Structure 1
Amino acid sequence: MLVQECSGALREEKGLLLEAAAEQLSCHAAKVSRIESGRSGIRQLDLKALLDLYGVVDPGERESWLALARESRRQRWWRVLEDQLPQEFLDLVGLEDEVSECRGFQPAIIPGLFQTKAYATAVIQGGVPGSLDESQQAKVRLRMERQKALTREDSVPLKVWMVLGEAALRQQVGGPRVLREQLRHLVEVARLPNVTLQVLPFTAGACQGGPYPFLIYSFPPPAGFEVVLLENFASHAYLESREDTVRLGGAFDHLRAAALSALDSESRISEIAEELTDQ
């Protein structure tokens, strides 16, 4: 999700059609569609023309947009994996490179941003014994690199507020030893100043939104909007409408209200870790 796509949201906020933007750029609407989908780059000159069309006149806000465009062209470390991974994996890490905040719910598995290498390897193996193939190794590497967003120094660290279902803490992915290491790591991550972690206990019962995982990513100004990521075994889906982000934001608020406090969650995670013994 780059500046091009953010500009598409800005166009929609103004109630303008693709044709209006295309006319401003003296091009076909298909080109504007490619720009907004992220399949085509955008020149600074074209971005300035679009900002004129969308009524963005404040000098500070305009410069923020132009700076975001310059940043979006910066070479990303994960580009070297383009030939080894499905596009949806690259889209996800690119999204986390751009956003400032992530809120979400994961009922049954530790989120990738918090996984140890051993746990991530077990997840990606999917219970199939043997060595990882080249594609699987690339996925593990990508997952480990993604976590640098939590402690990055070249920009503000990604702020994360995550609600985990108790089942995610008890499913013995990789076996007791791997899970125990994972839970201890989870406690360490939860102590980062930009991370809030809560556990939704089994006793909480049914909650709004059901047992379905989701992530809500928030873009910093000037984009200032949100996108919801829905993941399943086979694919990723991104929801950008205001209706969807408000609905899932409400579900997240309900979940965090039903979950244990951050302090009690840390205690629960530590207790479950100590219950695990090698078998």
Structure 2
Amino acid sequence: MPDDPKPTVRRRVLGTNLRRLREERGLHLEHAADQLSCNPSKVSRIESGRSPIRPLDLKALLDLYEIEDTATRDGWLSLARESRKQRWWRVLEDRLPQDFLDLIGLEEDASYCRGFEPGVVDGLFQTGSYAEAVIGGGSPGPLDSDAQTKLDVRLERQKALTREENPISTWVILGEAALRQQYGSVSTMRTQLGHLLELSHLPNVTLQVLPFSVGAYRGGPLPFKIYRFPAPSSMEVVLTESHVSHTYLEGPDDLAYYADVFDHLRATALGELESKALIDEIRQESTE
């Protein structure tokens, strides 16, 4: 099977967790390679996500790693099957940067995400008009083709919240600035704030607001998200954003730091009911 220079997120998750299983048992690449009767480089490519793994090879590795529970083995095999599928966004590889494609894959495959957006409404929660204003960056006139593609993809990503099978559970803390900074018209902002209130009633959405009154807070005004994948991996990935790219962090120290920052923010932010009240108050203040 040929290597994939742009492996899917799910394939990387599968490979990373296979490596974790191997290392937890004190085994080296050579042990796994002997089990599969292959070169260690093949195992390395599987663990990096560059090569898919056949179900027969996966079963052999699960035997080596002493994974005997039937349900757990079925979970690994299901993860492997899903990692081989081509997803809807893969047709956009020539039009979108790889780090953005990875973000789509995270939201499609993760079971839970939590994060902080200090200055703009989270992309999963944006209305079409608000998203168009954000992506347009204040430029007059219609979006160009690249920006329009980003808008279309952003709206498609939002289906992860309401899909029938395993909608992603989301806990987002918005800075008060995200509610007050006007993107688009006053009507656009009123509609956006109303949309936030509607989404906050979904059973898989938790929404809090960090008010201006709290002053300084841990982590600073930098957006981030922590994505968690379902069993059997239960792996987590931190996403940080800049003006030009996304960065993905998987190290234990990074995960521990951002988990601690999030816990501080959720303890400092308004409760859910108070957050909804503030959103509604700001919405009612908005008049043409």
* TM-score, normalised via structure 2 length: 0.89
Asked if 1:260 is matched to 2:270, the reply is yes
What does residue 217 of structure 2 align with? Answer: 207
| Gap change, CA 1:24 and 1:267, over 3 Å in 2 | same
Q: Deviations over 1:220-243 (max 9, x none)?
A: 110012111111111111111222
CA drift of 1:76 comes to 2.0
What does residue 63 of structure 1 align with? Answer: 74
What does residue 142 of structure 2 align with? Answer: 131
Deviates more, 1:18-27 or 1:197-206: 18-27
Q: What's the C-alpha RMSD, in Å, of the aligned pairs?
A: 1.8
Asked if 1:241 is matched to 2:251, the reply is yes
CA drift of 1:145 comes to 0.8
Cα pair 1:11 1:17 within 8 Å, conserved? no
Structure 2 unaligned segments of length 5 or more: list them: 1-8
2 CA distance for matches of 1:66 and 1:85? 30
Q: Deviations over 1:120-161 (max 9, x none)?
A: 1111111222221222111111110111111111x2111000
Q: Which amino acid aligns with 2:110?
A: V
Deviates more, 1:247-256 or 1:25-34: 25-34
CA drift of 1:58 comes to 1.8
Q: Percent identity?
A: 60
Asked if 1:9 is matched to 2:10, the reply is no
2 CA distance for matches of 1:166 and 1:176? 17
| Gap change, CA 1:179 and 1:62, over 3 Å in 2 | same
2 CA distance for matches of 1:253 and 1:104? 10
2 CA distance for matches of 1:19 and 1:189? 50
Instruction: State which of 163, 167, 173 in structure 1 corresponds to 2:173.
Output: 163
Deviates more, 1:126-135 or 1:35-44: 35-44
Cα pair 1:10 1:54 within 8 Å, conserved? no
Asked if 1:99 is matched to 2:110, the reply is yes
CA drift of 1:202 comes to 0.4
Q: Which amino acid aligns with 2:61?
A: L
Cα pair 1:104 1:215 within 8 Å, conserved? yes
Structure 1 unaligned segments of length 5 or more: list them: none
Q: Which amino acid aligns with 2:62?
A: L
Cα pair 2:30 2:40 within 8 Å, conserved? yes
How many residue pairs match? The answer is 277
Q: Give 1:59-208 correspondences, 5 Å limit.
A: 59-153=70-164, 155-208=165-218
Deviates more, 1:253-262 or 1:201-210: 201-210
Cα pair 1:219 1:225 within 8 Å, conserved? yes
1 CA distance for matches of 2:197 and 2:266? 18
CA drift of 1:189 comes to 0.8
